[in-house]
Amino acid sequence: MEPQANAAIYLASESPRRRELLDQLGVRYDIVSQDVDEVLEPGESPEVFVLRLALEKARAGLANSPGDRPVLGADTVVVLDEEVLGKPDDEGEALDMLERLSGQCHRVLTGVALVSDENEATRLSVSHVTFRTLAPEEREAYWASGEPVGKAGAYAIQGRGGVFVEHLDGSYSGVMGLPLFETGDLLGEFGVDYLSGWRHS
């Protein structure tokens, strides 16, 4: 990705969904690399886990940047009965996740962190998502589409997986991977003026 003129922040993520949501918010950014081990620690709650990863990603991004502007990090997890459902390793794991989510309400947690040389802050978005009952052939066809690969909980609400969602109580952008309300709140706290771009769009 080419550097953006007058970029206000760095984004410590390669996620196209997070880039799309930042573009929607009107924030200019550059991508910065980060490498964080996404492992749940013993006894760690899903809320603490997702906020820790977001902060670690932002800190790692700051370490790989010139330090001239804040770095935004984020992490999203799907939680069913207090168990974190990560990204499926293979077809069997994805189909098992989708079967477990079928007809159930689960939580989607997204932690967002913004860090600079002088400050760091985090926000947590919590959404409740209810799936309708999924037939085996639906789950298999969804896997065959390729969309569950690399997605927490083996689905993407902004893609074909949206047809499974019977009800959403919370943040659509948060379930996508970057809650705009919490992100805007953090940017405001750090003095990042994303509103100026709206006047020229």
Tens of pLDDT along 100-154? Answer: 999 999 999 999 999 999 999 999 999 999 999 999 999 999 999 999 999 999 9
Active-site residue set:
75
Tens of pLDDT along 81-101? Answer: 999 999 999 999 999 999 999
> How far from each other are the two terminal CA atoms of the chain, in whole angstroms?
21
Q: Locate the domains of the chain by residue range.
A: 9-200
**Candidates 3.90.950.10, 3.30.300.30, 3.30.1300.10, 2.40.50.140; CATH matching 9-200:** 3.90.950.10
pLDDT category of residue 200 using cuts at 50, 70 and 90: low
Mean pLDDT over all residues of the chain?
A: 94
Q: Which residue has the higher pLDDT, 35 or 46?
A: 46
pLDDT category of residue 6 using cuts at 50, 70 and 90: confident
Q: What is the pLDDT at residue 195?
A: 85
Q: What is the pLDDT at residue 160?
A: 97
Q: What is the pLDDT at residue 198?
A: 80
Tens of pLDDT along 51-77? Answer: 999 999 999 999 999 999 999 999 999
Strands 165-169 and 9-11 come out as unpaired
Residue 22 DSSP class: H
pLDDT category of residue 194 using cuts at 50, 70 and 90: confident
Residue reference for tokens 């019977």: 166
